[in-house]
Copies of this chain bind each other. A is one copy, B any other.
Amino acid sequence: MDYKIIDVKERVLADNERCAAETRSALAERGVLLVNLMGSPGAGKTSVLLQLIKRLGAQYRIGVMEADVDSDVDARTVAEAGAKVIQLHTGGLCHMDADMTARGLEALGVGDLDLIFLENVGNLVCPAEFDVGAGLRMMILSVPEGDDKPLKYPLMFRVSDVMLVNKLDAAEVFDFDLDAAAARARALNPDIEIFPVSAKSGEGFDALADWLAKRLEERRRGL
């Protein structure tokens, strides 16, 4: 029984890789950057998006796909900020896969967009396993979750290009060691870019927005 399940999982993951590669090359041809934004429930994914839309929305045409097990709370919030938004319901599934993402991009329409964010389901485990075809994987670790999370959810830190340490404004209340968290993440992934931010106060977002804009410009020059 175990082996059967593993077979199916391997087949699913192989199909997923193929679909993700197609999405990645189709977006690269158009010079569009897709960012897969991941993190625990309540890590601040939507608030991070609002800060980035505020800083990059005048310069770039931004689209957002809000993936949720249920509800459309976040899609409404992001739409009010002025981005082009669609809500995706995973129907109980704990992550987005490449096929669902491809269908989401089709529904969103990418022809009039420069930068697209996929707000993945709040989960530090499953989304790390599924390449959705993004050009950039960005994960959020929030201060209240604790600096030991890289030890417990290593894959997420291993596959991410960028790690935001969010809720820095609450650092006083929690016993969070930023250097320890960064060292643990870099032990898993020496190339990970780390940005300490506060989506509440806006701290750190100018640097992050500049960095993202550079990645987008590089992508366009690659056309």
* Residues of A bordering B, CB below 8 Å: 1, 4-5, 8, 12, 15, 40-42, 68-71, 73, 92, 94, 121-126, 129, 142-146, 148-149, 151-155, 167, 169-170, 173-174
| Structural contact, A152 and B70, CB atoms closer than 8 A | yes
Query: Complex Cα distance A129/B91, Å?
Result: 13
- With beta carbons under 8 angstroms apart, the residue of B40, B94, B152, B167 that contacts A73 is B152
Chain B residues with CB under 8 Å of A154's CB are 69-70
Q: Could you say which residues of chain B place their CB within 8 Å of the CB of A4? A: 8
A107: shortest Cβ distance to chain B, in Å? 18
Given contacts A12-B5, A122-B40, A124-B41, contact A170 B152 (CB under 8 A): no
Expressed in whole angstroms, the Cα–Cα distance for A123 and B8 within the complex equals 23
A122 to B174, CA, bound (A): 19
Query: What B residues does A70 contact at CB under 8 A?
Result: 151-154
A71: B residues at CB distance < 8 A = 151-152
Asked if B8 and A152 sit within 8 Å, CB to CB, the answer is no
- Identify the closest chain B residue to A149 (Cβ): B41
Smallest Cβ distance from A222 to chain B, in angstroms?
Answer: 33
Taking a contact as CB atoms under 8 Å apart, the answer to whether B146 and A42 are in contact is yes
Cα distance A129–B123 in the bound complex, in angstroms: 14
The answer to whether A41 touches B145, judged by C-beta atoms less than 8 angstroms apart, is: yes
Q: How far is the CA of A167 from the CA of B122 in the complex (A)?
A: 19
State the CA gap A151–B146 with chains docked (Å). 24
A51 to chain B, nearest CB (A): 16
Contacts of A142 in B (CB 8 A): 42, 144
CB-based nearest B residue for A93: B125
Contacts of A8 in B (CB 8 A): 4-5, 8
Q: Out of B1, B73, B145, B169, which one reaches A42, CB within 8 Å? A: B145
Which of B41, B126, B167 touches A152 (beta carbons < 8 Å)? B41
For A122, the chain B residues whose CB sits under 8 A away are 40, 124-125, 152-153
Chain B residues with CB below 8 A from A121, complex form: 125
Residue of B whose beta carbon sits closest to that of A72: B151
CA distance A106 to B143 in the complex (A): 37
